[in-house]
Copies of this chain bind each other. A is one copy, B any other.
């Protein structure tokens, strides 16, 4: 998917909502466990219930990988379903991969060729040749970790060089040499809103994927105030606040309700 199509969808739906699909057998409604593929059944119901309000879905690959071959099958079915049924919606493989060149190429193949994800999250520690193999796929995106939403972000991401530039700023600046704003986004945690403006200054044109609103404590209003650009330029992820609103038969209705409320707040703040 290209940037224009993503922006078009944002304007049509008046939403920047990305729904995280961290699907966990211990958290989904117990009645689904009787189904042949409980994970896919859950995802399908959540997607159908929230697609009117969301512009992106983000399966968290760890949750599928932790279920072995069965999890991998559920993931393949989920991306296939999104692709067939909602081709206009942006899809993110939240995998945080990154390795030497020939290995990153294999990861790119896994997520872009075998599965038709629009984008994959990539860790920057290993530098350029760990990222560029993903950029060789037309109309696919790399989402590089900039400033993450977790506590451990303070361990290394804020280390400053002699010029007072923090590591996360160096990453965001350097990565712009590798790919344009048509193929590269950055992850920026909503729990660190005081730094969002600094990051927007470092990357004026790129989309930011912002996790951490809701359960992790980030404020939607602050994020939209600090991180948007002239093309809006943000995707705001919510996971637990949407997909686990109910563990009863009404789980999809409850998810739709939560997604709708978030979309309305986004519309109010953005448009």
Contacts and interface: CB of A to CB of B under 8 A. Distances in A.
A9 to B, nearest CB: 27
A8 interface: no
Contacts of A157: 125, 127
A157 B104 CA distance: 18
Contacts of A103: 22, 60, 62-63
A34 interface: no
Contacts of A148: 100, 125-126
Contacts of A96: 97-99, 123, 126
B109 A129 contact: no
Contacts of A67: 114
A233 interface: no
Closest 3 CB pairs of A and B: A127-B152, A127-B155, A62-B106
Contacts of A94: 99
B127 A125 contact: no
A123 B130 CA distance: 12
Contacts of A126: 96, 123, 145, 148, 150, 152-153
Nearest to A128: B152
B130 A152 contact: yes
Given A124-B155, A161-B161, 13 more contacts: A62-B97, A62-B99, A62-B103, A65-B110, A66-B110, A68-B76, A72-B72, A96-B98, A96-B126, A126-B150, A126-B153, A128-B155, A129-B151
